Copies of this chain bind each other. A is one copy, B any other.
Amino acid sequence: MLEAKLAEAGTLKKLLDSIKELVTDANFECNEEGLNLQAMDNSHVALVAVHLEAAGFKRYRCDRPMPLGVNLSSLTKVLKCAKDDDECTLKAADEADVLNLVYEAKNSDRIAEYDMKLMDIDSDTLGIPDTDYDAEIKMPSAEFARIVRDLSALGESVRIEVSKEGVRFASEGESANGSILLKKEGEIPPVKTDKERKAEKARARGEKPEEDEDEENDGDDEKPKEKKVKKEKVKKEKDADEDVEMDEDEKDEEEFKPNSDDEGEKSEPEEEDDEEEESGKKRKKKANGSSKPAKKAKTAKGKGKAKKEEENQPYFEFGMNSHVSLTFSLKYLVNFSKSTSLTNMVELRMSNEVPLLVDYDFGQGFVRYYLAPKIGDE
């Protein structure tokens, strides 16, 4: 059975609001690490992956993995009955066909309880491989929303180009063309390694970065990535690393491949997904450990953290291993940007010919969108 108590129902409300237009029905996969939802959008063009980590709940218990087939508009309706600051407890018995939601107003005797019918949904749970990207942009989510909204008034598509000058969003329309350049002062560093990403997250979460230094010691600034930095790193790790868990994450990753070179990075998943997405079991520890320094560091990172400062202070941060230029449907990006209310930062990760990852990482989990680039002049 599942019993998960969220401190603020508002979190769930915002989450549902941001994806309900894209997906109408989906399974919430519950396991000891948290809740996960993965689904193609209704027109099967984009993929949405949501994760709420167990640690983000005030109380979390899930005896064994179970899927909860939810109609998102029903859930949205039921959630509207909660105030944003109500505590919200989700409960489902093992073979239940209903999800029980209890809202407890803070400092009050009001308790509302709802039972929402569940449904059976074929979940072709697509594996989403952890891939390395050639470019990444971390920026204020409101800024991203603004850019795609502006450009969507002009045309259907946007070309996102990461080059030495910075990041350019360009769109062509019948009556006007638009181009927005986010200039990067100074050199654009290579993209961060998964490890670095983890460390930052841990820091953002308030964990002690005991080993900041050691990263560097390890020669974290390393040698740089020729191309896809990450991969390289991957390889290395792979060699020296424990490949043990690679299978865990790998199993179903064939469906939606953000990147064609996933074979190599199996080992990585541990870091990235560890914490938030799937297995998380053992991985977790290491992941947290922003500390596992040496090995990871060597490949490519070197920069990110410096500007990391406040997770709450919007800022820009770019990483680039090679020039990237991709074209996407603005309609989807505009839709993705509904997640802006979840967190004030968004991260875009891209490699040529590979689906774009738009990542909204909020404290207790994330919403990630994958969107394949347009090819040619479609």
A residues within 8 Å of B by Cβ? 71, 74, 77-78, 80-81, 109-117, 143, 150-151, 153-154, 166, 174-185, 316
Partner of A176, one of B74, B175, B177, B181: B74
Instruction: Say whether A180 contacts B112, CB under 8 Å.
Output: yes
Instruction: Say whether A110 contacts B180, CB under 8 Å.
Output: yes
A169 CB, min distance to chain B CBs, angstroms: 9
Known A109-B166, A153-B80: A74·B181 in contact at CB below 8 Å: no
Instruction: Say whether B113 contacts A181, CB under 8 Å.
Output: yes
Instruction: Say whether B114 contacts A179, CB under 8 Å.
Output: yes
Which residue of B has the minimal Cβ distance to A170?
A: B113
Interface pairs A-B: 8 shortest CB-CB: A81-B150, A74-B175, A109-B183, A116-B176, A112-B180, A114-B178, A115-B177, A77-B153
A97 CB, min distance to chain B CBs, angstroms: 12
Which residue of B has the minimal Cβ distance to A177?
A: B115
Instruction: Say whether A179 contacts B77, CB under 8 Å.
Output: no
Instruction: Say whether A109 contacts B182, CB under 8 Å.
Output: yes
Instruction: Say whether A116 contacts B81, CB under 8 Å.
Output: no
For A180, list chain B residues within 8 Å (CB).
110-113
For A111, list chain B residues within 8 Å (CB).
180-181, 183
For A316, list chain B residues within 8 Å (CB).
109
Partner of A150, one of B71, B109, B112, B117: B112
A-B contact pairs, 19 of them (CB 8 A): A74-B176, A77-B175, A78-B176, A78-B178, A80-B150, A109-B166, A110-B143, A110-B182, A111-B181, A111-B183, A112-B178, A112-B180, A113-B179, A113-B180, A114-B154, A114-B178, A115-B176, A115-B177, A115-B178
Partner of A185, one of B109, B175, B181: B109
For A109, list chain B residues within 8 Å (CB).
166, 182-185, 316
For A184, list chain B residues within 8 Å (CB).
109
Question: Bound state CA distance, A177 and B109, in angstroms?
Answer: 20
Partner of A77, one of B74, B80, B154: B154
A296 CB, min distance to chain B CBs, angstroms: 31
Which residue of B has the minimal Cβ distance to A181?
A: B111
Which of A80, A109, A178, A185 neighbours the largest number of chain B CB atoms within 10 Å of its CB? A178
A12 CB, min distance to chain B CBs, angstroms: 15
A262 CB, min distance to chain B CBs, angstroms: 34
Question: Bound state CA distance, A114 and B114, in angstroms?
Answer: 51
For A153, list chain B residues within 8 Å (CB).
77, 80-81
Given A112-B179, A113-B181, 12 additional A-B pairs, CB 8 A: A77-B175, A78-B154, A81-B150, A81-B154, A109-B182, A109-B183, A109-B184, A109-B316, A110-B143, A111-B183, A116-B175, A117-B176
Question: Bound state CA distance, A153 and B82, in angstroms?
Answer: 12
Question: Bound state CA distance, A257 and B78, in angstroms?
Answer: 36
A60 CB, min distance to chain B CBs, angstroms: 23
Known A77-B153, A77-B176, A154-B78: A181·B71 in contact at CB below 8 Å: no
A307 CB, min distance to chain B CBs, angstroms: 13
Which residue of B has the minimal Cβ distance to A115?
A: B177
Which residue of B has the minimal Cβ distance to A112?
A: B180
Which of A71, A77, A114 neighbours the largest number of chain B CB atoms within 10 Å of its CB? A114
Instruction: Say whether B178 contacts A81, CB under 8 Å.
Output: yes
A197 CB, min distance to chain B CBs, angstroms: 24
